[in-house]
Amino acid sequence: MEAPPTAAADPSADASAEPAAPADPQPPTVATTPAPEPSADPSARDPRRIVKQQRPRSLLVPELAALERLYAATRKSSPDRPVVMRRLAEGYVELEYAAAHEPDGAKIATAARKHALTYYLALRSEYPTYAKLDEVLYYAGYEHERGGDSANARALYRELMQQSPTSPFVLRVPAKWRSR
């Protein structure tokens, strides 16, 4: 994409000359650009690597099994537990994306989404001071949205906007759900 031409790019332009007045003077307007709405491309609203670089299901299932064992062995008071929960949720989302592209993957994708939501929502309730709670709320809402559950998606997006109004994830929420 080419940059718009500037006066400096025109050798015949006189730097000391004032710009010509517009032929039809109008009051200045402030250009506002609405936030982009979700597109069919999931990476437009989901910037995670798992959307763009999907791994095969044959790698994800053993990894998730190992993470489940680690989660079961990690004490609730451990500072690592929220990290393991987040990784489990992300792993199930990755499995959901991988299964969605397979002919027999609809049931697996639905089950993976439910598991991801279980971990996102448990993380939200068990660790309300988690440093990346804004991301957890957004992605939990996004998973509800992807699953067709608009009511829960809207509730989580509202919670995100109330708890973290300056989070960059608020801008990823569809405009129709950003209104208060």
What integer is the mean pLDDT of 111-117?
Answer: 96
Rg of the chain over Cα atoms, rounded to whole angstroms, equals 23
Tell me, what's the pLDDT at 4?
39
Tell me, what's the pLDDT at 24?
44
40 or 164: which carries more pLDDT confidence?
A: 164
* pLDDT greater than 90 at residue 68: yes
Three-state SS annotation for 69-110? HHHHHCCCCCCCHHHHHHHHHHHHHHHHHHHHCCCCCHHHHH
Write out pLDDT tens, residues 29-65: 433 333 444 444 555 777 777 777 778 888 999 999 9
The answer to whether 101 and 95 have CB atoms below 8 angstroms apart is no
Tell me, what's the pLDDT at 91?
95
User: Can you give the pTM of this predicted structure?
Assistant: 0.74
41 or 175: which carries more pLDDT confidence?
A: 175
CA nearest neighbour of 120 among 141, 99, 100, 106: 141
* pLDDT greater than 90 at residue 107: yes
Domain boundaries, the chain: 48-130, 132-180
What angle separates helix 81-100 from helix 133-146, to the nearest 10 degrees?
A: 30
* pLDDT greater than 90 at residue 93: yes
Average confidence score pLDDT of the chain: 80
Tokens of 9: 């790019």
Query: What is the percent of the chain with per-residue pLDDT over 70, rounded to a whole number?
Result: 74
Q: How confident is the model at residue 6 (pLDDT cuts 50, 70, 90)?
A: very low
Tell me, what's the pLDDT at 176?
83
Alpha-carbon span 107 to 109, nearest angstrom: 5
